Amino acid sequence: MRAFAAIAACILLLGAGAARGGTMEERVERIDRLMHDYGGAVPGAAVLVLHDGEAVVRRGYGVADLETGAPVAPATNFRLASLTKQFTAAAILLLAEDGRLRLDDPVRRWLPTLPDAADPVTLHHLLSHTSGLIDYEEAMPEHPAAQLRDADVLALLEQHDRLYFPPGTRYRYSNSAYALLALVVGKASGQDFAAFLHARIFAPLGMDGTVAFEDGVSSVARRAYGHSLVDGAWRRTDQSPTSAVLGDGGIYSSIDDLARWDAALYDERLLSGASRALAFAAQTDGDTGEDDVDAYGYGWRLAGDMLWHSGETIGFRNVILRHPRQRLTVIVLSNRNHPEPYRTARAIADLWLAPGTD
């Protein structure tokens, strides 16, 4: 509890208008104080601040693996969890640009084994979390015999001919939707999801360490392993029954590779301006019911002028915050189950934002 109190105190201090700005050295010192409890022989974190196209802060704290003591470095690859969704959305948008699919395609055009209730669901609904599909986590066995994969999510949904609400009428965050989108990428491209991501996104951008990880098929270089605090001690908790589902959270990446991804979101080296506008525009109406989320785009949460997304899975907590108008991005990747780093990242961003900026 003392560790959490220290982080909270730093956040309050750094969030104040008087704490904004300062020299680069002062900013780095403040970030080090914010990240103090990630340092030493404990599961750690990597922090990246990009401003005007430059990596002005690029630091690692703590260790990537308690068993080996390997330190966290800027090239350490963390499981991104739901930060993966922005890549899944980008894959769909690339295929739309290719003419392989349309965003208003019924999902059953691509996955016809879905039940009749899914008839009105389109790819747009999946991308924007407005499909009404049931959560596969609710449908899965309590103790599955093996890890679920994207195809297993489809098999689970085939057994439930119902939706939570008519598509397009409400927002409800859906991991099921993004698992299905990964399968659609495979159907429309003729490649499996992981291969498509590598060929069309990771390799062209030079994201050489990034991978949609499949056990026994691919490997993760410089891998961070997830940990959880159990009875006062850190323990490795790297995999859960849902960790092998790719579309909603299966990518591993580093802050160095994510810097390349962020740069590509400012120009047309990957996605057209029209596709990026769709991804970053509000695709939902009404209250999302989520803190600091005014609306959802395609793979991105929107809060004022900020684009962001968190990623949480067993042993990992991550966040990316983008302020495109100020050309500022803050990324925190951590291989521990707490604390959730969103507020810490907001405090870091405040060091570069003018007072009163969203």
Residues noted as catalytic: 82
Nearest to 188 by CA among 180, 134, 81, 271: 180
Tokens of 272: 């057209």
Nearest to 345 by CA among 315, 306, 313, 314: 306
Residues 257 and 339: their CA atoms lie apart, in Å, by 24
The DSSP result for 157-225, as a single string, is: HHT----SS-TTS-----HHHHHHHHHHHHHHHSS-HHHHHIIIIIHHHT-TT-EE--BTTB--TTB--
Nearest to 159 by CA among 176, 178, 184: 176
Spatial CB neighbours of 76, under 8 Å, sequence gap ≥ 6 = 46, 60, 64, 222, 223, 224, 254, 333
Sheet-wide strand order for 306-313: 54-61, 45-51, 328-334, 316-323, 306-313, 301-303, 295-296
Phi-psi region of 131 (alpha: psi -120 to 50; beta: other; left: phi over 0): alpha
Residues 278 and 285: their CA atoms lie apart, in Å, by 15
Describe the crossing of helices 150-158 and 175-189 by its angle, rounded to 10 degrees: 110
Residue located via tokens 């939902």? 284
